[in-house]
Amino acid sequence: MSARYIGVDVGGTNVVAGLVDEERRVLARAKAKAAGAKSDAALAGLIARLAREAAAEGGAAPEEIGGIGIGSPGVLRPGDGLVLYSCNTPLGPTELLAPLREAWNAPVFLGNDADCAALCEAAPGGAVHGCRSAVVVTLGTGVGGAYVQDGVLWRGHNGCAMEAGHMTVRADGRRCPCGRRGCWEQYASATALKRMTREAMRKDRESLLWTLAAENGGKVGGRLAFEAMRRGDRTAKRVTDAYLFYLAAGVCNLINLLQPDRLCLAGGVAGERDEDLLYPLRERVSREEAARCGLPRTEIVKAARGGDAGVVGAAMLCMNH
Amino acid sequence: MSARYIGVDVGGTNVVAGLVDEERRVLARAKAKAAGAKSDAALAGLIARLAREAAAEGGAAPEEIGGIGIGSPGVLRPGDGLVLYSCNTPLGPTELLAPLREAWNAPVFLGNDADCAALCEAAPGGAVHGCRSAVVVTLGTGVGGAYVQDGVLWRGHNGCAMEAGHMTVRADGRRCPCGRRGCWEQYASATALKRMTREAMRKDRESLLWTLAAENGGKVGGRLAFEAMRRGDRTAKRVTDAYLFYLAAGVCNLINLLQPDRLCLAGGVAGERDEDLLYPLRERVSREEAARCGLPRTEIVKAARGGDAGVVGAAMLCMNH
């Protein structure tokens, strides 16, 4: 029987562990809210528990696990298993891997979450498979970035390049917990989309957004504004237009700087309907990008593996070792 | 006798041709205002004339010239000798090299001007020589960018990557001729610094800026605000602070994305005193960059070859072929 691996995607909102086989299929999953873990030790414990649950759910005994990979947001020192800083999790410098290493007899690896998504999308079946150069942008609790050249991740001289979420697109703009102002993440993440939706709702009590939110138990999620916009709500349209404006600003920045063959959108927001996200984004970028004067252009695509990319890519950290 | 080359730096303000030897020394120069050339053909003719003048000034007969390199701003198709689009010169798609090829019996090459500066600075004696990875930013009429890895230029899949000047740092900000808004170039170029100086002067008729400009024949150059700031003028200090704010915003973006070993500032503004430009820039970036939480950091330096980098790098386009 071929080896199986555990991949853990540590998001700002959810922590998901998956049992993954060598063909990069997810055989079983276990999931919990990240907010449940109030300390570094609690998060490490949660990861260890979810890894056990995913293995058990998939019927894999611990000794059958070939390795455990953790994908975490933030600035990492993977060799030491350290998360040095993360903007959207409550972690300070923290050692995530030690509890796993104690509990499991398998090798444990740490990688950036956007890098994990990129690893998965660059593999067969992924949206940037076979590209000479590709940028992957994750639109989730925060905004992450990764650059893949000929299938190999590229992270700069110190391993923390492609912090695309912490590129200023509005100088003097919103404060970001990272210490900068106007970071792209403050305008293009799912968190930002929800905030913009709530702000618009406060200004327009008549908006369909209120009705749809009520039908959804009062929850203002990342799909609400798109759904209300599709039903003709003008306030919602202003929200999705503003979101697309900022998404395009950062995507066009990345293209003007890096000119990859493809730029791939991953993360929750990327799952939005193509008519409402991908196509209008392509149109906006094509009007602004430097290459429009007659050079081959970057193709903007969305992730092929959807929500699984983070878990599968984390497991791939082990496969590639 | 070893070969000599002609390098031509086509700037938004000046066109400079230099006779360059294989040790990358500039033996002779010829210079003219770019504004004198009102058409594509006129610019190509001006380049050809300055090339002849530089060769004659250095006592080199045309048959002694091993090659002619042209460094031009904008988006290029070097193989075809085409400048497809340039933001700061009046050129549409234009063939710059044909008149030179007709007039000279030497090979002629075209390259991006920031790439040329980077080639020069990556060679022995340059500020990023020996770096594994380096970003070079040119602060002139516009803002250009280049990325060098192990001494080799990197330009993305279509040859026009690193258009750092056309990275939006202020969404909804100033219109840029490139079609975007809030481009870094609109805030961090020498042109922007002069504009900000003029705007400040209009608002404060008592400022020392007026006195110093008058002493300079009424000319508002890129050094004026820094000079008045050093003499204690508060209006000038607001200009240089604003300039540094935007310069730092873009430099920090490039570092958070690319994490090079070194980032090198070239072009006219980079010649400003270290106390007033380089050191405060380093301080601002060090407070914001992602790697500050415990990783090796990018060293920010200024060009070692100063105003010669463009001419020498253009000549190096030939040497490297």
User: How close does chain A come to B29, measured CA to CA in Å?
Assistant: 32
Q: Which residues pair with B146 in a beta bridge?
A: B136
Q: Please tell me which residue of chain A has the smallest CA distance to B295.
A: A158
Contacts of A160 in chain B (CB under 8 A): 259, 290-291, 295
Structure tokens at A246: 């900022």
User: How close does chain A come to B14, measured CA to CA in Å?
Assistant: 23
The DSSP H or E segment spanning B244 is helix B234-258
CATH number for the domain running over B130-303: 3.30.420.40
Q: Please tell me which residue of chain B has the smallest CA distance to A245.
A: B171
Q: Give residue limits of the domains in chain B.
A: 4-119+308-319, 130-303
Structure tokens at B126: 């340059």
Q: Please tell me which residue of chain A has the smallest CA distance to B254.
A: A167
Torsion (CA) A283, A284, A285, A288 in degrees, nearest 10: 120
3-state secondary structure at position A54 = helix
* Subunit contact A256:B163, Cβ cutoff 8 A: yes
Residue A96 pLDDT greater than 90, yes or no: no
Q: Among partner residues A156, A178, A253, which is closest to B168 by beta-carbon distance?
A: A253
Structure tokens at B230: 């050093």
**Residue B35, pLDDT score:** 84
**Residue B103, pLDDT score:** 83
Contacts of A115 in chain B (CB under 8 A): none
Test the A interface: residue of B95, B137, B168, B180 with most A CBs within 10 Å: B168
Burial per residue of A295-313, b for 16 or more beta-carbon CB atoms within 10 angstroms, e otherwise? bebbebbbbbbebbbbbbb
Burial per residue of A76-108, b for 16 or more beta-carbon CB atoms within 10 angstroms, e otherwise? bbbeebbbbbbbbbebeebebbebbeebbebbb
A106-147 pLDDT, tens digit per residue, is 999 999 999 999 999 999 999 999 999 999 999 999 999 999
CA angle B132, A149, A82 (to 5 degrees): 70
Give pairs for B292-297: CB < 8 Å, separation 24+.
B293/A75, B293/A84, B293/A85, B293/A93, B294/A75, B294/A77, B294/A84, B294/A85, B294/A93, B295/A75, B295/A77, B295/A84, B295/A158, B295/A159, B295/A160, B296/A157, B296/A158, B297/A158
- Under the banding of pLDDT at 50, 70 and 90, the label for residue A281 is very high
* Subunit contact B260:A145, Cβ cutoff 8 A: no
Alpha-carbon span B51 to B27, nearest angstrom:
13
Residue A91 pLDDT greater than 70, yes or no: no
Q: Are strands A262-266 and A133-139 parallel, antiparallel or unpaired?
A: parallel
Alpha-carbon span B297 to B305, nearest angstrom:
24
* Subunit contact B171:A187, Cβ cutoff 8 A: yes
HSE-up of residue B143 (Cα within 13 Å, Cβ side) = 34
Alpha-carbon span B299 to A208, nearest angstrom:
52
Alpha-carbon span B196 to B173, nearest angstrom:
14
B203-261 pLDDT, tens digit per residue, is 999 999 999 999 999 999 999 999 999 999 999 999 999 999 999 999 999 999 999 99
Mean pLDDT rounded to a whole number for chain A: 94
Helices and strands in chain A, H and E counts:
10, 13
Q: Are strands B152-154 and B143-149 parallel, antiparallel or unpaired?
A: antiparallel
* Subunit contact A290:B75, Cβ cutoff 8 A: yes
* Subunit contact A294:B257, Cβ cutoff 8 A: no
Q: Which value, in Å, is the radius of gyration of the alpha carbons in chain A?
A: 20
Alpha-carbon span B281 to A59, nearest angstrom:
56
Q: Which value, in Å, is the radius of gyration of the alpha carbons in chain B?
A: 20
Q: A with B: how many residue pairs have Cβ under 8 Å apart?
A: 163
**Residue B92, pLDDT score:** 67
Q: Among partner residues A145, A161, A290, which is closest to B160 by beta-carbon distance?
A: A290
Contacts of B259 in chain A (CB under 8 A): 155-161
Residue B269 pLDDT greater than 70, yes or no: yes
Q: Which residue has the tokens 């066109």?
A: B15
A35-89 pLDDT, tens digit per residue, is 878 788 888 889 999 999 999 999 999 889 999 999 999 898 888 888 888 887 7
Mean pLDDT rounded to a whole number for chain B: 94
ipTM of the shown complex: 0.96
Give pairs for A272-276: CB < 8 Å, separation 24+.
A272/A223, A272/A226, A273/A226, A273/A230, A274/A302, A276/A226, A276/A229, A276/A230, A276/A240
User: How close does chain A come to B199, measured CA to CA in Å?
Assistant: 19
DSSP secondary structure string for all residues of B122-147? HSTTSTTTT-SEEEEEEESSSEEEEE
3-state secondary structure at position B161 = coil
Query: What 8-state DSSP symbol labels residue B272?
Result: S
User: How close does chain B come to A168, measured CA to CA in Å?
Assistant: 6
- Residue B72's contacts (CB-CB under 8 Å, 6 or more residues apart) are B10, B83, B86, B89, B96, B110, B111, B112, B113
Contacts of B293 in chain A (CB under 8 A): 75, 84-85, 93
Contacts of B75 in chain A (CB under 8 A): 290-291, 293-295
Contacts of A161 in chain B (CB under 8 A): 256-259
* Subunit contact A291:B75, Cβ cutoff 8 A: yes
Q: Among partner residues B178, B250, B259, which is closest to A158 by beta-carbon distance?
A: B259
- Sheet with A14-21: strands ordered across: A26-33, A14-21, A4-10, A65-72, A108-112
Alpha-carbon span A239 to A196, nearest angstrom:
6
* Subunit contact A252:B168, Cβ cutoff 8 A: yes
CB B293 within 8 A of CB B254: no
Judge if B4-119+308-319 and B130-303 fold alike in CATH terms: yes
Q: Among partner residues B160, B162, B257, which is closest to A162 by beta-carbon distance?
A: B257
* Subunit contact B259:A161, Cβ cutoff 8 A: yes
User: How close does chain A come to B26, measured CA to CA in Å?
Assistant: 31
**Residue B91, pLDDT score:** 63
Query: What 8-state DSSP symbol labels residue B225?
Result: H
Contacts of A245 in chain B (CB under 8 A): 171
Q: Which residues pair with B94 in a beta bridge?
A: B83
* Subunit contact B156:A256, Cβ cutoff 8 A: no
Burial per residue of B278-311, b for 16 or more beta-carbon CB atoms within 10 angstroms, e otherwise? bebbbebbbebbbbbbebebbebbbbbbebbbbb
HSE-up of residue A260 (Cα within 13 Å, Cβ side) = 28
Q: Please tell me which residue of chain B has the smallest CA distance to A84.
A: B293
Residue B89 pLDDT greater than 90, yes or no: no
- Under the banding of pLDDT at 50, 70 and 90, the label for residue B306 is confident
**Residue B1, pLDDT score:** 58
* Subunit contact A290:B93, Cβ cutoff 8 A: no
Question: CA B19 → CA A52, B54, B70, distances in Å?
Answer: 70, 6, 12
Q: Which residues pair with A136 in a beta bridge?
A: A146, A264
Sign of CA dihedral A153, A157, A159, A164: negative
CB B296 within 8 A of CB A166: no
Structure tokens at B307: 């105003």
* Subunit contact B295:A166, Cβ cutoff 8 A: no
Q: Please tell me which residue of chain B has the smallest CA distance to A133.
A: B157
> Is A292 buried (19+), middle (13-18) or exposed (0-12) by CB count in 10 A?
middle
Q: What are phi and psi of A19, to 5 degrees?
A: -90, 125
Question: CA A309 → CA A305, A314, B128, B270, distances in Å?
Answer: 5, 8, 38, 43
Q: Among partner residues B159, B252, B254, which is closest to A295 by beta-carbon distance?
A: B159
Q: Which residue has the tokens 């979101």?
A: A243
* Check whether domain B4-119+308-319 has CATH 3.30.420.40, yes or no: yes
Burial per residue of B144-157, b for 16 or more beta-carbon CB atoms within 10 angstroms, e otherwise? bbbbbeeeebbbbb
Q: In B58-207, which ranges are continuous DSSP H helix?
A: 98-103, 113-122, 185-188, 190-203
Query: What 8-state DSSP symbol labels residue B63?
Result: G
Of the candidates A30, A52, A154, the residue with the CA atom closest to the CA atom of residue A100: A52
Tell me what percent of the residues of chain B surpass a pLDDT of 90. Answer: 81
Instruction: Tell me the residue ranges of DSSP E strands in chain B.
Output: 4-10, 14-21, 26-33, 65-72, 75-77, 82-85, 94-95, 108-112, 133-139, 143-149, 152-154, 262-266, 299-302
Alpha-carbon span B176 to B184, nearest angstrom:
9
B153-199 pLDDT, tens digit per residue, is 999 999 999 999 999 999 999 999 999 999 999 999 999 999 999 99
Give this prediction's pTM.
0.96
Structure tokens at A240: 């999705």
* Subunit contact B160:A93, Cβ cutoff 8 A: no
* Subunit contact B166:A245, Cβ cutoff 8 A: no
Q: Please tell me which residue of chain B has the smallest CA distance to A176.
A: B288
